[in-house]
Amino acid sequence: MKIKITADSTCDLPASLAEKYDVHIFPLYVVMDGVARRDGVEITAQDIFDHVSAGGRLGNTAAVNVGDYLEKFREFRKEYDAVIHFTISQSMSACFQNANIAGEDAGNVYVVDSKNLSVGISMLVLDACGMAAAGKSPEEIVQTLEEKRNKLDMSFVIDTLDYLRAGGRCSPLVALGANLLNLKPCVELRDGAMDVGKKYRGAIEKVVLKYLADRLADTQSIDSGRAFFVKSSGFSPEFLEEARAEVRRLCPFDQLIDADAGCTISNHCGPRTLGIVFYRK
């Protein structure tokens, strides 16, 4: 049985892996100054940061529309027996709803709510690719990953709340207080929604190392098979290598994949955001 694996651009799957496993990526839209641009195709995260740094207003992100989904789903169904599509958590976007509408029309399209974002989605996508290659049925793949998504440990630390404030996800007063106190919150995914975990204080580089030590402290509960190291721009190459080395020291994962935060997470969290993502046992 031939199965096509697809995902939204919110997954931040590195292009090399998307190509290697033949994963089709549906770009969301970033609307800036009234113009909608396709995530990763017509606009990058750095474009967003440069625009804001130059005094421009932060844009909005928009879901993949039903027409975009339907066009490609129909195309894939001509060649594949089934399509399995992964979306960002439906509590954050209309992607899940739109993909389901298009999938019902195209037929034999299985839409999975990752209940996650960024490379948390990619963890599921890579598992789906492996299971499809092993000959597993769409139903078995979906059921397995809808159970496994609950074991994902997805979190990241952010340097400033200014982007969350500008996007309406944080009040100006909270952002001001956090910035004055030099607080760097850890954002965690819980039940498909973002929540604030531990709050750190100090320079972001020191905070990142503390954050990594906290997340990887209980190695007995960690599935050390694969992890993603995801970050937005603003860190020096030397520091990023130091942080990666710290991950390897704390928990020697069999596979540590480097990824860049795309437009969706960058538009909300800003530069100098960094996370480690893995499964718990």
Same domain as 206, residue 192 = yes
Distance CA 57, CA 63 (A): 20
Domain endpoint, select from 117, 150, 183: 150
Q: Is the pLDDT assigned to residue 225 strictly greater than 70?
A: yes
Residues in the chain, overall count = 281
- Among residues 95, 94, 125, the alpha carbon closest in space to that of 3 is found at 125
Q: Is the pLDDT assigned to residue 169 strictly greater than 80?
A: no
Same domain as 143, residue 23 = yes
- Collapsing DSSP to helix, strand or coil, 254 comes out as coil
- pLDDT for the residue 183: 78
Could you give phi then psi for residue 130, rounded to 5 degrees?
-65, -40
Residues 249, 152, 63, 80, Cα dihedral to 10°:
100
Residues 6+ apart with CB under 8 A from 150: 115
Same domain as 146, residue 156 = no
- pLDDT for the residue 56: 86
User: What pTM value is reported for the model?
Assistant: 0.92
- pLDDT for the residue 276: 97
Same domain as 98, residue 165 = no
Residues 6+ apart with CB under 8 A from 79: 2, 4
Same domain as 108, residue 8 = yes
Same domain as 136, residue 38 = yes
Q: How many domains does the chain have?
A: 2
188-201 tens-digit pLDDT? 888 888 887 888 98
Q: How confident is the model at residue 175 (pLDDT cuts 50, 70, 90)?
A: very low
Domain endpoint, select from 150, 178, 206: 150
> Residue 64 is part of which domain span?
3-150
- pLDDT for the residue 170: 45
Q: Is-contact 208 237, C-beta < 8 A?
A: no
What is the percent of the chain where pLDDT is above 90? 75
Same domain as 158, residue 146 = no
Q: What is the mean pLDDT of the chain?
A: 91
- pLDDT for the residue 198: 87
CATH of the domain at 217: 3.30.1180.10
Distance CA 195, CA 38 (A): 27
Alpha helices (H) along the chain: 15-20, 45-53, 66-79, 95-106, 119-133, 138-148, 162-166, 172-180, 204-215, 237-250, 263-269
Angle between helices 204-215 and 237-250 (to 10 degrees): 20
Same domain as 131, residue 159 = no
Residues 140, 120, 229, 58, Cα dihedral to 10°:
150
Say how many C-beta atoms besides its own lie within 10 A of residue 106's C-beta. Answer: 17
Same domain as 156, residue 98 = no
* Amino acid identity at 68: D
Domain endpoint, select from 150, 178, 205: 150
Same domain as 9, residue 98 = yes
Q: How confident is the model at residue 46 (pLDDT cuts 50, 70, 90)?
A: very high
Same domain as 142, residue 178 = no
CATH of the domain at 146: 3.40.50.10170
Could you give phi then psi for residue 5, rounded to 5 degrees?
-100, 130
Q: How confident is the model at residue 94 (pLDDT cuts 50, 70, 90)?
A: very high
- Collapsing DSSP to helix, strand or coil, 194 comes out as strand
Mean pLDDT of 231-235: 95
The Cα angle at residue 163 between residues 45 and 155, in degrees rounded to 5: 80
Radius of gyration for the chain, computed over Cα atoms and rounded to the nearest angstrom: 19
Mean pLDDT of 218-244: 97
Same domain as 46, residue 178 = no
